[in-house]
A and B are shown apart, each in its own frame.
Chain A
Amino acid sequence: EAGVAQSPRYKIIEKRQSVAFWCNPISGHATLYWYQQILGQGPKLLIQFQNNGVVDDSQLPKDRFSAERLKGVDSTLKIQPAKLEDSAVYLCASSLNFQVPGELFFGEGSRLTVL
């Protein structure tokens, strides 16, 4: 079974530039999450999708971050314009259904460095 795929693995940009990250969850997983992991901290939830609908985006900085999951499968997270404090690893995770407490499957992450 293929795992959660993310790209790119690494990205270096200058502040005020834009960047986009892509995630393809495990086939059949209805729930998709984007987490931000700043160095030395635990992952923090940015947004949660159930199929193509948003369940929770309360911690997403909406003035610069956006995310979509148009067909209920893969997802894109965009940052525009980037700030220095956005340097982090962006983790995508998926699960069968968030209403059944179970395992989240994580991708390897996309490491963003903002100069």
Chain B
Amino acid sequence: AQSVTQLGSHVSVSEGALVLLRCNYSSSVPPYLFWYVQYPNQGLQLLLKYTSAATLVKGINGFEAEFKKSETSFHLTKPSAHMSDAAEYFCAVSDRAGGTSYGKLTFGQGTILTVHP
């Protein structure tokens, strides 16, 4: 079964600093990969997704992620953190067509991002 591991349940950065949230997946075949954000008492919102050959994916709010097959990673970055980025971030994975989990998302445990003034 597909799975993702998010390293670090809590990440704290200063406003203006680099944000790096780590995600590794387990699959012999490159899957589809997603990052979602959840603000307090709200549902999840898609930040970005990897579903094609372009390994560097840009998303909303200045976030981007790079798919690295050799490292089975899909880390999320943002060059300069803003106070409004404080939220919980989830990495998720889905099989490509033909896989048993095609069309379904499996989520990681989540990483809470805190941004200090």
Contact = CB atoms under 8 A, between A and B. Distances in A.
Given A101-B51, A101-B94, A109-B43, A42 B108 contact: yes
A106 B106 CA distance: 15
Contacts of B61: none
Nearest to A99: B103
A98 B45 contact: no
Contact of A104 (B42, B96, B105, B110): B105
Contacts of B97: 99
A73 interface: no
Contacts of A4: 43
B109 A108 contact: no
A103 B105 CA distance: 10
A105 B45 CA distance: 7
A31 interface: yes
B88 to A, nearest CB: 9
B3 to A, nearest CB: 10
Contact of A41 (B96, B102, B106, B110): B110
Interface in B69-109: 90, 92, 94, 96-97, 102-109
A102 B51 CA distance: 9
Interface residues of B, number: 24
Contacts of A99: 97, 102-103
A48 interface: yes
A24 to B, nearest CB: 13
Across the A-B interface, the 4 shortest Cβ-Cβ residue pairs: A106-B43, A98-B103, A42-B107, A106-B44
Interface of A: 4, 31, 33, 40-45, 48, 55-56, 91, 93, 98-99, 101-109
Given A4-B43, A48-B103, A101-B51, 19 more contacts: A31-B103, A41-B110, A42-B90, A42-B107, A43-B44, A45-B104, A45-B106, A55-B103, A56-B104, A91-B43, A91-B44, A98-B103, A99-B97, A101-B32, A101-B103, A103-B46, A104-B46, A107-B43, A108-B42
